[in-house]
Amino acid sequence: MIERYTLPEIGGIWTEEAKYRAWLKVELAVCRARARLGEIPSEEVEELARKADFTVERIHEIEEETNHDVIAFVSAVAESAGDVARHFHFGLTSSDVLDTAGALQLRDSLDLIQDEARSLTRLLCEMSLEHRETVMVGRTHGVHAEPTTLGHKLAVWAFEMERNLERLAHAREVAAVGKISGAVGTYANVDPKVEALTCEELGLGSEPASTQIVQRDRHAEVLAALAILGSTLEKIALEIRGAQRTEVRELAEPFGRGQKGSSAMPHKRNPILSERLCGMARLLRANAQVGFEDNALWQERDISHSSAERVVLPDSTILAYYMLRTTGRILRGLEVDKERMLKNLNMGGGIVYSGRVLLALVESGMGRDDAYALVQDAAMRAWGGEGSFREILEAKEEVRERLGLDLGRLFDPSYALRNLGVVFERVEELKRRLENE
């Protein structure tokens, strides 16, 4: 991932130095496991742990000759460790190290992502409760439908983020698995107890049956969970982008002092952060496709997955973390124009209350088809600019006879709040659960 979108906390997990440190951690854990089983002297393992070291530059120098990164790593460590290096990488295949160390990197990345996702979910809960009575027009197909509240919209996002938290937690559990089972997973050259002790020390589960590699359905689940998370963040960003349009202007992402919107048009204030999130969500979905294709490999292993994973696993975790942080930044600085929301709600003289008028006419005894035709005619005339929806209705004698002259009771947006309390009770409960975790 390019530096522009790489936050240091998660970027540090995926550096070359961090990768090789994870490899070393696995190798030494294997040696300690063998020592506990009496296979090698404990004092020599302690010496190995003290001496074992490397430089990224030296590994790359050796790899230029060997064209094999794990052999280059083992050789570089052996140069620093001396005689006790004979215990290093004994009985292992490259993927024992790569996949087990990769699980450590994925686990640590997902821990950061979960923390940020939890923080964003709490923020959405707080904002939902803050705006529970911020009335605005609800839209379907991009067209005015009925009144809703901004708090309700935020509640929908909060509960979707809760589901993302559940998916992330399961993906972390699935990903945090190692294997120390040898060349084709048969434990031919390594005691299964070594695997159990190694994974226990590293805080990982053990693959119950592996080939030469940990099975890639696990990585596919991680990438899928991140792609779904990205689609939620895209949903939020897309809503803000739409609401910041000149004709709508109900919401706006923060615009910093000295920020410029366009090199040619000084008036421009563009939703660039939200647009950035929408673009990044496409990358997460594309990377998830790679995860699905990496699962099917030739027999016990090929390496067609390896080159792709070197890109998609770091990129997706780094992107997801950046997107979460950026979404939080947008929401914390979100500008809400309540007056504009009410103005848009009342556009057309109350067309959004057509459903209430329809039901009132039916309750008065009018047939539903007749009532629908009457209300639709008034609405279409209002859309055409012949007057406000309410005025056109009040001019209809049949409406006056059945509903009276004052239709104000039907044109009150507060009815949208009548039963929404149950949703906000659920938001409060979600907020309490998150605070107690």
Would you name the residues annotated as active-site residues? 141, 262
Contact 345, 352 (CB under 8 A): yes
**H or E stretch including 206?**
strand 205-206
Token pair listed for 245: 């349009």
Token pair listed for 254: 């923060």
Question: Using CA atoms in the order 361, 364, 366, 371, what is the torsion angle rounded to 10 degrees?
Answer: 0
How does DSSP assign 316-360, residue by residue? HHHHHHHHHHHHHHHHHT-EE-HHHHHHHHTTTTTGGGHHHHHHH
How does DSSP assign 2-37, residue by residue? -GGG--HHHHGGGSHHHHHHHHHHHHHHHHHHHHHT
- Pairing between β-strand 205-206 and β-strand 251-252 as defined by DSSP bridges: unpaired
Angle at 434 between CA 11 and CA 135, to 5 degrees: 100
Within 8 A by CB and 6+ apart from 266, the residues are 260
Contact 104, 25 (CB under 8 A): yes
